[in-house]
Amino acid sequence: MAESSAATPAPFDLEKLQQLIELMEKHGLSEVSLSRGEEKWRLRRGSLTPTLVSAPAMMAPAPVAAPMAAPAPVAAPAPVAAADDGLLMIRSPTVGTFYSAQTPEDPPFVSVGSKVSAATTVCLIEAMKVFNPIAAELAGTVEAILVKNGDPVEFGQPLFKVRP
């Protein structure tokens, strides 16, 4: 990362970042811009690529700050019917790690053939050491599980196929 001064900026305070994301969700905000001195933060959620951009004012006109995936527990995208088989998809509402059970010793939340309702927890997605329960948000029968326990998942990635 190229910097225009010898001073190294302080690392991000991830606890404050998590609090800001929670406030965004609580108040229904999709974007927040903050600045203090030379530090500027901009968070956006609800897009395919949630990002955090921080750029000190002293940086070159084209900052090289890498986008950081925001672990905002956003509402899951509406289930989308697969064009060819009439099945609905349960998609990941955030970036993180997929877990099929509460702990490694517990049975999976759902398996192929399980009946689910809108409130049924189907998995956990861990982001920044926060485990977010993911609800089915639809009713039906699980026809396929598209990811394995411990797999990284992206925002909007299909996790399950469900027959309504």
Domain segments of the chain as ranges? 1-70, 88-163
Q: Which of 23, 152, 160 is closest to 95 using CA atoms? A: 152
For residue range 59-118, what is the model confidence (pLDDT) as tens digits? Answer: 444 444 444 554 544 444 555 544 457 899 999 999 999 999 999 899 999 999 999 999
Domain range 88-163, CATH class: mainly beta
φ, ψ dihedrals at 99, nearest 5° = -130, 130
For residue range 6-28, what is the model confidence (pLDDT) as tens digits? Answer: 555 566 677 777 787 777 777 77
| The residue type at 81 | A
129 or 73: which carries more pLDDT confidence?
A: 129
Instruction: Give the global pTM.
Output: 0.51
Long-range CB contacts (within 8 A, 24+) of 151-155: 151/97, 151/98, 152/95, 152/96, 152/97, 152/98, 153/92, 153/95, 153/96, 153/97, 153/98, 153/125, 154/92, 154/95, 155/48, 155/49, 155/50, 155/92, 155/93, 155/94, 155/95
Cα separation values, 99 from 107, 134, 146, Å? 11, 10, 12
Q: What is the DSSP letter of 126?
A: E
